[in-house]
Amino acid sequence: MTSPYAEHLGRARTAADFAAVIALLDTDLSDAITRKDHLTEAEDRAVFGDGDLAAARAALDDCNDAIALLEKTIDVAGKRRKEAAASEARADITALGEEIAAKAAALGARWRCVHRLIEQLRQELFEADALNRAITTANGLFDAAGVAELKVNLTATRRAAMAGPRAAAPSRLSRPAVQADRLLLSFLSPGGALDPRPALGAPVDGVKTKFIPVASERG
């Protein structure tokens, strides 16, 4: 190969490398085609005695050989570029597979953590419910004994304990995750799963009910 870009083509490894060499070869080919047009005109003039016909035809033959070589080189380089692109695509897929495998392992760890926290939450709910039932029974006894001021406002206690900042959900969240997040928030929100609204006409705890915070902490 006589092209000055033969060395560049030999060093090319990636699809981008081959594309860069092909761009240079295309420029050379365009210049050679322009030169061929001029040499063809010179041959025509030489036919009618204006110039050396043999020299004009020799120069035109050399130009045609150069054009053929450039076209062949571009064709070979194009095939190698496609092969390199396919190889790079396979490498990208392999790398993606490794990345996804790592993310799958991390996902499994996250789900195990979710399982652990849900089980911990269930245990806390069981213990909180036991305390809630004990206080409800005591409130009935206080009413019967005429010492309503000793009653504990369970709703106020729960709402005060569950007040506080809440993390904002990510902007891109799957529908199941949105539903699960809403369910979790319903445990914290007034009128939610742990805070059913009283029926219409039902008596509401008075403002004079004594407020005694109740907390259930697990180590």
206: pLDDT confidence band, cut at 50, 70 and 90? very low
Residue 123 has pLDDT above 50, yes or no: yes
Q: Where are the domains of the chain?
A: 6-100
Share of the chain above pLDDT 90, in %: 63
Exposed/middle/buried for residue 9 (C-beta within 10 Å: 0-12, 13-18, 19+): buried
Question: Cα angle at 68 between 63 and 70, to 5 degrees?
Answer: 95
Residue 118 has pLDDT above 60, yes or no: yes
Average pLDDT over every residue of 201-214: 44
Question: Cα angle at 207 between 201 and 212, to 5 degrees?
Answer: 115
Report the predicted TM-score, pTM, of the whole model to 2 decimal places.
Answer: 0.59
pLDDT in tens, 40-78: 988 888 888 888 889 989 999 999 999 999 999 899 899
pLDDT in tens, 24-35: 999 999 999 999
* DSSP letter assigned to residue 217: -
The amino acid present at 118, given as its one-letter code, is I
**Which residues, 6 or more positions from 124, have their beta carbon under 8 angstroms from its beta carbon?**
216, 218
The predicted pLDDT at position 96 comes to 95
Question: What is the Cα–Cα distance from 204 to 218, expressed in whole angstroms?
Answer: 32
The predicted pLDDT at position 85 comes to 95
Residue 196 has pLDDT above 80, yes or no: no
Least confident of 3-17, 71-85, 97-111: 3-17
4: pLDDT confidence band, cut at 50, 70 and 90? low
Report the run of H or E that residue 178 belongs to, with start and end.
helix 175-186
The per-residue b/e assignment along 28-52, b for 16 or more CB within 10 angstroms, e otherwise, is bbeebeebbeebeebbeebeeeeee
Average pLDDT taken over every residue of the chain: 86
Residue 178 has pLDDT above 70, yes or no: yes
Question: What is the Cα–Cα distance from 127 to 103, expressed in whole angstroms?
Answer: 36
